[in-house]
Amino acid sequence: MIDRQSSPSETILASLPRRRRAEARFRIYGIAAIGIALAFLILLISAIGTQGIGAISQTEIALDVTLDESVLGLSDARDRETLSKANYRAVIRAALGDVFPEAVSARRDRRALMKLVSVGAGFELRNLVLEDPGLVGGTMRVWVPADDEVDMLMKGATARDSGRFSDKQLGWLDQLEEEGRIRSAFNWRFFTSGDSREPELAGILGAIAGSFFALITCLVLSFPLGVMTAIYLEEFAPRNRWTDLIEININNLAAVPSIVFGLLGLAIFLGFMGLTRSAPLVGGMVLALMTLPTVIIATRASLRAVPPSIREAAIGLGASRMQAMLHHTLPLAMPGIMTGTIIGMAQALGESAPLIMIGMVAFIVDMPQGLLDPASALPVQIYIWADSPERAFAEKTAAAIIVLLAFLIIMNLTAVILRRRFERRW
Amino acid sequence: MKKTLLAGLLAGVAVAGVAEARDQIRIVGSSTVFPFSTAVAERFGKTTSFKTPIVESTGSGGGLKLFCAGIGEGHPDITNASRRIKAKEVETCAKNGVGDVVEVKVGYDGIVLANSRDTAQFSLTLKDIFMALAHDVPAGACASADDCTLVANPNRTWKDVNPALPDVRVEVLGPPATSGTRDAFVELAMEGGCKTFKGLKAMKKADKKAYKAACHTIREDGMYIEAGENDNLIVQKLTTNPRALGIFGFSFLDQNSDKLQGSTVNGMSPEFEEIAAGNYPVSRALFFYVKKAHIGTVPGIAEYIAEFTNEATWGPDGYLADKGLIPMSDDERKEWSASSNGLQNLSM
């Protein structure tokens, strides 16, 4: 703006167009920077999305199984133990043999035929029988998962002429398709089971449970500790060299690489305290150490944002410092504290480095039932699948990334909503 | 900070008492054996009444370190290794009370040099590999120790390495120095090629350190690209860059045989049969080691060994072969099955 009192000097007028152009350029740079960042984000998400979408469906094959006692190798006993040890694979083999009678004579063909069906088929059949032992002796049609290679072929990830299937196997698959024995079903296994070395059986629930238990531990430890520390430091602690030192240390701690916390956890929680390896309890404790600085810093910032007039008014009316704190400052600072905590938790959810040291980067099939059961975590599961040679794990990896991203988005959204709804502006 | 740490400690101590006796096998060790070990663990858990063992991928060295740290619940029962245990590690083990160890040889793993199927297959010799990837190479024929001068590797293209090879820039994607695959590659392929020079071979006796430096050091001028521990990444990069060669384990070639082809080494192609027969020169044995003191304490260890050494598991038609493990010969399997199921002590 040109001042009204002083007459515009020639030089200023001359420089105006140049300065306006510079500003326009500056804005374009800004928009370009955002545009590039957005483009990369879209590229990343669409790449992961297109790859991960495949994991939602799974090719299944229909077999008419006859649960014959002699094939199962069952005698008269029908207790759980005997039923669970019965030979369900033989039943599957027999059912496949019924569809392709020409393939049962040669051993080679039988093996090739069995390779079309997942090794998990027998176990799924077993679970059906264990649920309802009355099925023994009867015949029924079951949809069993196809082998991961077949799944990849059906989804078009492997070409027919890739040499991964023999002509005979391709012929069998065509025949199955003609007879309506192949379908693409919703892959519920992915959401209901733990890890597996067979891509068609591998699921994410074990990792989700592990992450859940670890995050709960992390929250229970870091939230009260962090808030208490912040309140004391902000409201009660005297300003001296010691509190300065502590403050610097906390700020430093927030920038320490997370693997260091893993090493600390290994030395203290596992070595000194003798806690169990791979337990989400220990994982949560390590993540709590990592989250603490975030919680403390966020809490202090939001306490400081409450105007001193509120505190002073409360004290002026006779409240003690603790009352002023608990009744007025803390409730007003709560939205900020919650936001900081949720963001800290979201960070902890995505961490895998500190978990390496305490043994949570592991192949764990059984679902964790509690804080001390061995478990992995979501980012760890992604890492393990990304490293597996089987091609079908690529889409599982992408799908697991989508699940992790979904959780992160939900958590961050909650943080934004909390801030919007409850934040007070002065 | 002090305060929060202390409080954290207290909270931990309060729950430490809950830890109960372990009824689940714990396995650590090599990332190369990991895919096989996990497959066995999963079957074992599904077909027996024991819990599924927990398998951690810590690398061979890291696994043996954990394994040898002591006896008791806090220490693993089994460690996988993509190389044999070293005498030094046996000593550490013994010092920490881990005296009786059962050694089980599992099978073999081939290390392949592969490129995209869009280009021609490479036929290499160990000497070619050394000449292409070594940091320093002999200037002349290097027929004896006296007339063998090492110069910084001048070879830019494969044609420089060997006139029979194509005129393409040397570009090899391989594992970083921390990887067990890299160790094995250096020992088998690089040293194997290095030894073809009589002068360098003579050096082994005279000056072992210099010999190792000459044979084991990979060039650092950008022709060998460390592509990270993830073999899938190397596979992906090879499909987009047909001029490059990649170094990784056989199972990744096996899974991607429609996109990639393995180079022949000394005339042998990296195929299942050739590696199994011991003809393919860049292959290594895989092992696992069992803590004898834990057998009987932690349930299922003997049964796990039995499951692993079952013909339906590690035989030529077993499920591990489908996962890319190269089985041992019939005689070797019989021998190892007997010794490991008999819980024979490791003898170096």
Are A203 and A189 within 8 A, CB to CB?
A: yes
- Residues of chain B contacting A249 with CB distance shorter than 8 Å: 1
Q: Is A376 exposed, middle or buried (0-12, 13-18, 19+ CB in 10 A)?
A: buried
The type of residue at B291 is K
How many percent of chain A have pLDDT more than 90? Answer: 63
Q: Does A361 touch chain B (CB under 8 A)?
A: yes
Confidence of residue A384 (pLDDT cuts 50, 70, 90): very high
Look at residue A14 in the predicted model and tell me its pLDDT. Answer: 86
Helix (H, G, I), strand (E, B) or coil at A63: strand
pLDDT digits (tens, 9 = 90+) for A98-140: 888 887 778 888 888 888 999 889 889 998 988 888 888 889 9
Interhelix angle for A107-114 vs A88-99, to 10°? 100
Put simply, the chain A residues between 377 and 396 with a CB less than 8 A from any chain B CB are 384, 386-391, 394
Say yes or no to pLDDT of A320 above 90: yes
Look at residue A408 in the predicted model and tell me its pLDDT. Answer: 93
Q: Given B12, B31, B232, which is nearest A269 (Cβ)?
A: B12
Structure tokens at B254: 């096996």
Q: Backbone dihedral region of B5: left (phi > 0), alpha (psi from -120 to 50 degrees) or beta?
A: alpha
Put simply, the chain B residues between 207 and 246 with a CB less than 8 A from any chain A CB are 229-232
Q: What are B192's strand-pairing partners?
A: none
Q: Is A41 exposed, middle or buried (0-12, 13-18, 19+ CB in 10 A)?
A: exposed
- Binary contact (A361, B57; C-beta < 8 A): yes
Dihedral sign, Cα of residue A260, residue A266, residue A271, residue A272? positive
The type of residue at A127 is N
Interchain CB contacts (distance < 8 Å): A and B: 118
Range with the largest mean pLDDT of A33-42, A62-71, B142-151, B177-186: A33-42
| Phi then psi dihedrals of residue B169, to 5 deg | -60, 140
Look at residue B1 in the predicted model and tell me its pLDDT. Answer: 45
Give the nearest chain A residue to B11 (CA atoms): A221
Q: List strand residue ranges (DSSP E) for A343-400, in order.
A: 362-363
Confidence of residue B199 (pLDDT cuts 50, 70, 90): confident
CB atoms within 10 A of CB B330: 11
Give the nearest chain B residue to A158 (CA atoms): B258
Q: Does A118 touch chain B (CB under 8 A)?
A: no
Map chain B to HEC letters: CHHHHHHHHHHHHHHHCCCCCCCCCEEEECCCCHHHHHHHHHHHHHHCCCCCCEEECCCHHHHHHHHCCCCCCCCCCEEEECCCCCHHHHHHHHHCCCCCEEEEEEEEEEEEEEEECCCCCCEECHHHHHHHHECEEECCCCCCCCCCCEEECCCCEHHHHCCCCCCCECCEEECCCCCHHHHHHHHHHHHHHHCCCHHHHHHHHHCHHHHHHHHHCECCCCCEEECCCCHHHHHHHHHHCCCCEEEEEHHHHHHCCCCEEECEECCECCCHHHHHCCCCCCEEEEEEEEEHHHECCECCHHHHHHHHCCHHHHCCCCHHHHCCCECCCHHHHHHHHHHHHCCCECCC
Report the alpha-carbon distance of residue B82 to residue B179 in Å, rounded.
Answer: 11
Look at residue A211 in the predicted model and tell me its pLDDT. Answer: 95
pTM for the model stands at 0.84
- Binary contact (A159, B258; C-beta < 8 A): yes
Report the alpha-carbon distance of residue A43 to residue A241 in Å, rounded.
Answer: 50
Mean pLDDT of A238-266: 91
Q: Is A315 exposed, middle or buried (0-12, 13-18, 19+ CB in 10 A)?
A: middle
Q: What is the ipTM of this complex?
A: 0.82
The type of residue at A148 is D
Report the alpha-carbon distance of residue A206 to residue A212 in Å, rounded.
Answer: 10
Which CATH fold would you assign to the domain A205-422?
Answer: MetI-like fold (1.10.3720)
Dihedral sign, Cα of residue A344, residue A350, residue A352, residue A355? positive
Look at residue B202 in the predicted model and tell me its pLDDT. Answer: 83
CA A375 to chain centroid: 13
How many percent of chain B have pLDDT more than 90? Answer: 47
**Cα Rg, chain B, nearest whole Å:** 23
Q: Which of B95, A283, B195, A417 is nearest to B203 (CA)?
A: B195
Say yes or no to pLDDT of B6 above 70: no
Mean pLDDT of A226-235: 93
Say yes or no to pLDDT of B168 above 60: yes
- Binary contact (B232, A387; C-beta < 8 A): yes
Top residue of B13, B54, B254, B258 to mutate, by most chain A CBs within 10 Å, is: B54
Report the alpha-carbon distance of residue B213 to residue B218 in Å, rounded.
Answer: 9
Report the alpha-carbon distance of residue A392 to residue B322 in Å, rounded.
Answer: 15
Q: Given A123, A229, A363, which is nearest B4 (Cβ)?
A: A229
Say yes or no to pLDDT of A400 above 70: yes
CA A91 to chain centroid: 37
Say yes or no to pLDDT of A305 above 50: yes
The type of residue at A426 is W
pLDDT digits (tens, 9 = 90+) for A188-205: 999 999 999 999 999 999
Say yes or no to pLDDT of A238 above 50: yes
Question: Residue A236 carries which DSSP code?
Answer: I
Put simply, the chain B residues between 19 and 48 with a CB less than 8 A from any chain A CB are 19-20, 22, 24, 26, 31, 34-35, 38-39, 41-42, 45-46
Say yes or no to pLDDT of B10 above 50: no
Confidence of residue B16 (pLDDT cuts 50, 70, 90): very low
Confidence of residue A6 (pLDDT cuts 50, 70, 90): low
Which residues lie below 8 Å from residue B8, measured CB to CB, with a gap of 6+? Answer: A221, A225, A285, A288, A289
Put simply, the chain B residues between 320 and 339 with a CB less than 8 A from any chain A CB are 322-324
Confidence of residue A5 (pLDDT cuts 50, 70, 90): low
The type of residue at A44 is L
Look at residue B15 in the predicted model and tell me its pLDDT. Answer: 45
Report the alpha-carbon distance of residue B281 to residue B284 in Å, rounded.
Answer: 9
Are B98 and B68 within 8 A, CB to CB?
A: yes
Q: Given A111, A362, A389, which is nearest B317 (Cβ)?
A: A111
Q: Which of A193, A175, A170 is nearest to A115 (CA)?
A: A170
Q: Which of A130, A329, A295 is nearest to A223 (CA)?
A: A295
Look at residue A246 in the predicted model and tell me its pLDDT. Answer: 92
Q: Given B3, B15, B255, which is nearest A390 (Cβ)?
A: B255
Q: Does A266 touch chain B (CB under 8 A)?
A: no
Q: Given A285, A387, A390, which is nearest B8 (Cβ)?
A: A285
Mean pLDDT of B96-115: 92
Least confident of A68-82, A172-186, A310-324, B321-335: A68-82
Domain ranges of chain A: 54-186, 205-422
CA A188 to chain centroid: 17
Say yes or no to pLDDT of B166 above 70: yes
Are A114 and A96 within 8 A, CB to CB?
A: yes
DSSP A144-187: EEBPHHHHHHHTTSS-GGGSSS-HHHHHHHHHHHHTT-EEEEE-
Say yes or no to pLDDT of B17 above 80: no
Mean pLDDT of B228-253: 88
Query: CA B84 → CA A366, B88, B302, distances in Å?
Result: 31, 12, 21
Report the alpha-carbon distance of residue B161 to residue B153 in Å, rounded.
Answer: 10
Look at residue B9 in the predicted model and tell me its pLDDT. Answer: 46
- Residues of chain A contacting B45 with CB distance shorter than 8 Å: 365-366
Look at residue B338 in the predicted model and tell me its pLDDT. Answer: 93
Say yes or no to pLDDT of B89 above 80: yes
The type of residue at A285 is M
Question: Residue A117 carries which DSSP code?
Answer: B
- Binary contact (B41, A363; C-beta < 8 A): yes
Taking the CA of residue B52 and the nearest CA in chain A, the distance in Å comes to 7
Say yes or no to pLDDT of B179 above 80: no
Confidence of residue A4 (pLDDT cuts 50, 70, 90): low
Say yes or no to pLDDT of A175 above 60: yes
Place of tokens 């133990």: A81
Q: Which of A260, A262, A291, A292 is nearest to A277 (CA)?
A: A262
- Binary contact (A292, B254; C-beta < 8 A): no
Q: Given A196, A225, A386, which is nearest B42 (Cβ)?
A: A196
The mean of the pLDDT values for chain A is 90
- Binary contact (A221, B24; C-beta < 8 A): no
Top residue of B32, B46, B254, B261 to mutate, by most chain A CBs within 10 Å, is: B46
Q: Does B96 touch chain A (CB under 8 A)?
A: no
CA B78 to chain centroid: 17
Q: How far apart are the first and last CA of chain A?
A: 31
Mean pLDDT of B67-79: 91
Look at residue B111 in the predicted model and tell me its pLDDT. Answer: 92
Report the alpha-carbon distance of residue A3 to residue B195 in Å, rounded.
Answer: 85
Are A72 and A94 within 8 A, CB to CB?
A: no
Say yes or no to pLDDT of B324 above 90: no
- Binary contact (A362, B57; C-beta < 8 A): yes
Least confident of A219-228, A395-404, B245-254: B245-254
- Residues of chain A contacting B11 with CB distance shorter than 8 Å: 221, 285
Mean pLDDT of A16-36: 95
Report the alpha-carbon distance of residue A203 to residue A145 in Å, rounded.
Answer: 13
Range with the largest mean pLDDT of A30-39, A152-161, B41-50: A30-39
Structure tokens at A60: 């299944």
Q: Which of A409, A353, A392 is nearest to A58 (CA)?
A: A392
